[in-house]
Amino acid sequence: MENLRNKQAFICDMDGVIYHGNRIIPQVPAFLEWLQKNDKQYLFLTNSPERSPRELAQKLARMGLEVTEDHFYTSALATASFLASQCKKGSVYVIGEPGLTFALYEAGFSMNDVNPDYVVFGETRSLSYEKIEKAVKLVQNGAKLIGTNSDLTGPSETGIIPACRALISPIEMTCGQQAYFVGKPNPLMMRHALKKLGCHRADVAIVGDRMDTDIIAGIESEIDTVLVLTGVTNMDNINQFAYRPKYILNHVGEIVG
């Protein structure tokens, strides 16, 4: 554990690690205070594309945590960056929340519901049959299908809920095409995180609640992994996976000691 505390930087997931919905996990304020007092670099790296860094900073502020916008990086930003490298000034049909649409606008994309280059899908509570039907037609007509992240489920205040990969599946199944997912565990997301931190991977630990995104992302990027049991993965379902995190903790507060 001492080796973990000596790390220069921490990449932390948010849902299931920092909060559940709008409820902060009790040990998080002590963890954040420890990071700041010990001059640790840290980045909140979330697969949720719904909110911009500013909105995430405001959300934490409402919970009593002061974190500046530069400490956040989302799958929406990673998706926009990836698509901009593939197709400058292209067009998109978006199914998602404002955080995703704004990231794509900022990256130079225009909205197009007739003949877009991409159909981009992120978690949203406003999903409808009409939007699925529209996306299917656009993909069948040649648009490429992009998912912001490959999470099947996510944690909430009320329990486990469907996430991007589950919600996009009707489009994939109808079109007979697999979406390309940009968020964790895609190495693109991890490279963005390391670049933003300006750290070598040996000096970084990734903290997450999911074996299938956070932990595998860390393992494949050769970053030390910390699984916390406050989210999706627990000691009952961890044996479903053929790999193990370096550390298993009940919550982030245990990093502090």
For the annotated catalytic residues, the residue numbers are 13, 15
In single-letter form, the type of residue at position 216 comes to I
DSSP class of 122: -
Q: Determine the 3-state secondary structure of 98 from DSSP.
A: helix
Dist. CA 241–CA 52, nearest whole Å: 32
> Facing residues of 204 across strands?
9
In single-letter form, the type of residue at position 71 comes to H
Q: Determine the 3-state secondary structure of 130 from DSSP.
A: helix
Note if the bond before 185 is cis, omega within 30 degrees: yes
Angle (CA) 173 151 147, round 5° = 55
Q: Give burial (CB, 10 Å; 0-12/13-18/19+) of 13.
A: buried
Q: For residue 8, give both structure tokens.
A: 């220069």
